[in-house]
Amino acid sequence: MSEATTVSVDEDGIFETGFIREMVKQMRALDSYDTYDGWSPARILAPFVLTKERKKEIPIVGDPDEITLARVRAFYNAISSLIESECGLMAVPVDSLNHEGFGRVVITVGKLVVMDKTLRDVHRFGFPGLSKMKDEADKILSAARALIGEHPTVAGL
């Protein structure tokens, strides 16, 4: 599969949003060899964008590689980090994926589960665009904030 080196133009200032900035931070944190030094945020986040053409290049059945698993973890780590910054409580993402790319991701705040998502076909993990990725993260953040607001005692444990 050919990797696109950059994402298209800045989608309405998306690179200035908190979530996208956090995603870039998470991806840079994974870069132990400074490969991303000098790279633009668009280039760093390009692997998260799977256009229809790129998705067709990926087989229907396949095992995820370590780089893809790291991207999945970076996505949920970014969401957890934003929950922490907004609520002041530690949010912990936990993933359990088998070698075929099936499993689950859970984010807990204290003893409260604020997100529980079943994952399938992780080797095809991606979004049609960065705005779609941000929208998905915003939905998760909104639901997490609502749950923490409803159950602050459990979240504080």
Would 2 be classed as within a structural domain?
A: no
Six-digit token string for 86: 């907004």
**Residue 5 within a domain:** no
Domain range holding 125? 14-155
Q: What's the pTM?
A: 0.91
Asked whether residue 63 is assigned to any structural domain, the reply reads yes
**Both structure tokens of 29:** 């944190």
CB 4 within 8 A of CB 10: no
What residue type is 101 in one-letter code?
Answer: G
Flag whether 6 is in a domain.
no
Whether residue 76 is contained in a domain is answered as yes
Handedness of CA 43, 44, 50, 53 (dihedral sign): positive
The reply to whether 88 falls in a domain is yes
Write the CATH number for 45. 1.10.3100.20
pLDDT tens sequence across 14-73: 999 999 999 999 999 999 999 999 999 999 999 999 999 999 999 989 999 999 999 999
Please state the domain count of the chain: 1
